[in-house]
Amino acid sequence: MLTDEQIASIRLFKGVPAPRIRSALQGSDIRHLEPGEVLLAPAMANDTLYLLLDGQLSIHLASPTDVEIRVIEPGGSVGELSIIQNSPPSAFVVAKTSCRVLCVAEDQMWELVDNARGVARNLLSLVADWLRANTWQMAQDRGRMQDLEKVAWLDGLTGLFNRRWLDQALRRKLANAQEDGNPLTFVLLDVDHFKKYNDTQGHQGGDQALIALAQTLSGNMRPNDFAARYGGEEFALLLPNTHRDAGLEVADRLREVVSQREIAMPDGRPLPGVTVSMGLAVSGPDSTPGTLAEAADARLYEAKKSGRNRVCG
């Protein structure tokens, strides 16, 4: 039988006279669990409330060996939610260490709720804690999903948006521009003589040049403009609500800033600077993402053919 001290340590019995608890729990068993032993699982029916006397229990979602989402300390309980909902448990409960649990049958639990003043209030507090813990877990999961989604849209080397993001954004921005009757300027830019740069400075040097270029673009863009890595040493700019003359001005300003950017290896060793060639295209009523990209690519080819380090549009 439980001592007064043990009864007082159990949250469900907080503030409830020990003699009343002891009377209601007559016939309850104490179960010993070894580390790794499964106490509750989603596949099993449950009609027992388990009160943890000592040791630790862990909660797992997908399997008993999955990462734990919560740890139950002495004085805590498990199984009350499945009894209240009359449904199987929603997670695995596993002995994290050697444990002893007091097994309270379903009818005993409801007798305590009905007849022992304070137990119902404590049970509500326990359920609220579970709901709060689940809400916190959902918030954590949502944050992790958002982090993963963010990573999925970003280029791993430069930190700019990647081609996957660009393809979707171009369709969306072009549709918005055509619906509103505003122009969308699309710019493709290519690092001049990048193969030679890689050959002379090594791939790490080439990577540092691309990183510096990306930082220069993102640090000098207008608030509503976007930069993305198109592939390799090619990058793209989306300039919403921008006519050709304004787009040429923005592109040429960025080209000049890039040409002045100092580049260095992570250890501080200086590297040669780079220049870029740019091709610019402006949307029209019949433009598609494909035709806009083709037009910008043709202007980029023209810029490289006519001497590089320039903008054609």
User: Which stretch of DSSP H or E encloses residue 20?
Assistant: helix 18-24
72 DSSP β-pair partners: 57
Q: Which residue is catalytic, options 5, 37, 111, 233?
A: 233
Nearest residue to 165 (alpha-carbon basis) of 183, 152, 175: 152
80 is catalytic: no
DSSP states along 74-130:
TT-EESHHHHHHTS--SSEEEESSSEEEEEEEHHHHHHHHHHSTTHHHHHHHHHHHH
Residue type, 208: Q
Please, are residues 118 and 14 in contact by the beta-carbon 8 Å criterion?
Answer: yes
Question: Which residues are annotated as catalytic?
Answer: 233
